[in-house]
Each structure stands twice: as structure tokens, then as C-alpha cells.
Structure 1
């Protein structure tokens, strides 16, 4: 057997099936200017997380009467905001033709029911009572000194009126936001955002669900979705979960996906996630 034959028996690659957590952008309207504005607002919530994020562009829920879609324009908008389109999901002939012309892979349409993708602030995420946390970005307001009104004694021809002493400054009370408390299961496709504070979930978090908080995230149940703490850059934010099975964990834009997390001996355990420099540390509780 020749040397070449021996080398051919040693494979240089493997083809494997894998379930990856990929962001799906589902278009509801053919309006590129609104898409640009609203996507900019969404990315501003967590700019580091959205940088070079792989994306599937879903066109299969677009209404039929909104005209021809400028697919290249949509791709350009996504790229401008840091999203890298891997494929599209479509069923209209014109979209399939455009994808072929642009050499974009096409995935079959989704058979799942529509689910809301906007942050939830309703009953499923009612604020906790008596639990508060001051946002780190807020500072104490400058103390205000209120001058007393000048009161003059009875004026005489040779005596000027005297001013009352100034009142001592009273420190203002800083604004605080309550911790957001969720007591019901968080289903796939639902996104919950705790602006300016912590997020506490007392129920399971399903795959496809997304938790975001400017502060810490606590999950007292199985965590199988995404958890993004410190989304506005708070590197001291932490993630606590009772059972680690997440698709992604992120602190201040530094993240690990499920493939990396499964290699950790803490997979499936109660863990504490913190950030040191740009490295996520996962320790068992």
C-alpha cells in the first residue's frame, strides 16, 4: 500500500449534525426605514452581544400585499448593525430567486406558531415588592441649597436689613428601580428585559427564551434559554442559576454558547457566572 493510500485512510474532516443557537430576525413588514430605526434601538440595548452575531433572516411571515422586498437592502441594514446573515427562511418565489442571485442559502419555512419577540413588561413579569437596586449608571444628584427669603427687621436710617441664615443642604434621594420578578415559566420566543436593575425568575426558562438585565440575573429553576446580564456594560454583573442548561450566557457582551458550556463540569449544576477581564468564569454554587 502506497503512502498516498495510507494518508487517504486518515480522514481530514468529519460531517456532524449540531443544534446551534442562532438568532432569527422575522420580518413582519416590508418597510426598510422602520427596520433600520427599530433594529438600531434593539442593538443599542446590548451592542457587544449583537456584534458579528450570526443571523437567519425569516421572510416567510411577510404579508403578501406589501410588494417586492429589497433583499439586498435588508442584508445591508443587518450588516450595518453587526448582524451576519447566514441564510434566509422564505417561501415566496421572488424571494427564492433573489436569494439564488445573491448566493444566500435558503431554509424551509417555519411551521411554528408566531410568538412575540419584544420585551415583556406585563403580568408574566410583574415587579417584585420591596426589592430595589440602584442602577450603576445613575449618580446622586447634586445637593440643592435653598436660600431663605431675606427678612428685614424694622428698618432704621443707619442700619441695613439682615439676611436669615441659609438652610443646610439636604441630600436628594436617588432614583431606584425595583427588581423585576417573574413567577411563571418563560416560554420559547419570549424576551424579558429588566431595565436598570436585576431580574429574578422563579420558574423554568425554556429553550428559545431570552432574559436580559442591566444588572444581575437569578434563575431558580432549569435555565435552558439565553441569559444576558450587564447588557449596558456592567462588568460586575452576575448570573446565578439552579440548573445550567443554557443556550447562551453573557455578561457585558462576553458570552459562551451551549457547545462551550457543555464542556464544563458544571453543566446541569447550580452555578454562578462572573466576568474576569474578558473571561467568563463558571463556578458551582
Structure 2
């Protein structure tokens, strides 16, 4: 009897979802290239899903795949597609994904209110957020460190080209060195993260749940691997 086994299990992985109302190549490629230039290290070979909810035309998925490959991205599938788009995407070798239903209007209102009330202070070297970053919020410190004086809630995302310092619990996602700098680190006083990334190298929650889970911790890149240690 063969000792080899095969298991096919459901799992969750971070996927970036691209929303763009014009998927023509002459529009999409320069816009996407400009966006990627903001954080090239983090998005290198990142898996991407196209949200077609606002696109009723039938894009040329074969050409789109070539554009994504050119930009060092991996187009893996589509969501929000109509029947014709689903057929064309599948013929191009793409997966058709079903997005979870959410109260979009309510979520948008929460995010808008959070942005309006967000109090930040910028200096040459750091961006300071005075309160908790809540679910649905994304904070990005371009060319600087990011200091969060509150917590980072589940479903929230904090990104910095520099280091990230969180004085409360980290329950969402923290992405340091977003421009590709492996020397940057993530510091927090209570590690319960959904995802932590340094220069595009990431660990999900399962990999973080160990000795330092729920404790002050520092995550850095060392010897070609992410390393987590006690925050002292």
C-alpha cells in the first residue's frame, strides 16, 4: 500500500482585490504601475483578484494576465462577474470567486466617519496616529515610520515604508518596509495579528501563535527569514 497521502483543505490567504472601472490596457497599466511604485517590495508577485462589479464590458483577460505578469503580479481570478465575464475568465484560466456579502453602505459610513475623526501628526521621520485604528481603516506612512498610540483592531491595516510601532494590541495587519526595505521592523505591546509583513515577506496568524502570542513582541527579517522575539 502506498504511504503517500493527498489532502485538499480549505484555507484563508491574503489576496489583494483590484477595483478599477476602466480595464482597458492603456488606462489600467499606467495607473497600476504608479500604484505599485508606492510599495514595490510588498506587492512583488502578489496574488490579485479583479472585482468586476462595476465593469459590464468583457475585458480581454488573456491580455490582462500578460500586463499583470509584466508588472510582477499574479492575476489569479475574478469576482463580481456576470455570466459572460465568468465564462471568458475561466477560458483564460482564471478562477471565479464568490465574494462574501457585507453591508457595503454601513461599512463605507464607518470608514468615512473614522477618516473624518482620525487625528494624525506628521513629522519628517514619522507619522503618529493618536487613537485606535478600527476595522476597515487603512493607514499608510509613506517614506516614514508609523506610530500607533492605540490598538490596531481586527480587519484594520497599517502600512509603513519604515518601522511600525504599536502601543496597544495588534489584531489586524501590520506591513513594515513596504518599499522593500528588509531592515524595518514591527513592534507591538500585544501580538495577536492577522498578518505581519516585512518587505513583502509575511506570516499569517497561525505562524504567529506561539511563545509570544498575546505578549509584547518585535518582528524582523533576519537570515532570510522572519524572526519574532520579545520586546524589551
Q: What's the TM-score, normalizing by structure 2?
A: 0.81
| Displacement of 1:106 | 1.0
Query: Which residue of 2 is the match for residue 183 of structure 1?
Result: 131
CA distance in 2, matches of 1:63, 1:85: 17
Matched, 1:253 2:200: yes
> When the two structures are superposed, what TM-score results if normalisation uses the length of structure 1?
0.68
The superposition leaves residues 87-107 of structure 1 with CA deviations (integer Å, 9 ceiling, x where unpaired) of 221331221110221232211
1:269 equivalent in alignment to 2:219: no
Q: CA deviation at 1:45?
A: 2.1
Instruction: State how far apart, in whole Å, the 2-side matches of 1:242 and 1:282 are.
Output: 13
Matches within 5 A, 1:99-138: 99-112=89-102, 113=104, 123-124=117-118, 126-127=120-121, 132=123
Taking the aligned partners of 2:212 and 2:36, their CA distance within structure 1 comes to 31
Counting matched residue pairs gives 225
Aligned to 2:16: 23
Highest Rg: 1 or 2? Answer: 1
Cα deviation per residue 1:7-38 (whole Å; 9 max; x = unaligned)? 4xx56122323222222223333343232122
Structure 2 gaps, min length 5: none
Return the match for 1:215 from 139, 162, 165. Answer: 162
Cα 1:218–1:42 change in 2 (3 A) is same
User: Residue 62 in 1 paired to residue 54 in 2?
Assistant: yes
Aligned to 1:157: none
Q: Equivalents in 2 of 1:233, 1:52: separation in Å?
A: 13
Distance 2:202 2:151 in 1: 21
Distance in 2 separating the partners of 1:265 and 1:272: 12
Against the structure 1 CA distance between its residues 19 and 207, is the aligned structure 2 distance closer, same or farther, given a 3 Å change threshold?
farther
What is aligned with 1:13? 6
- Secondary structure, aligned partner of 1:267: coil
Cα distance change of structure 1 residues 81 and 217 upon mapping to structure 2, 3 Å threshold:
same
Mapped contact 2:134–2:154 kept (Cα < 8 A): no
Q: SS of the residue aligned with 2:59?
A: coil
RMSD: 2.8
Higher strand share: 2
Distance 1:230 1:207, change over 3 A: same
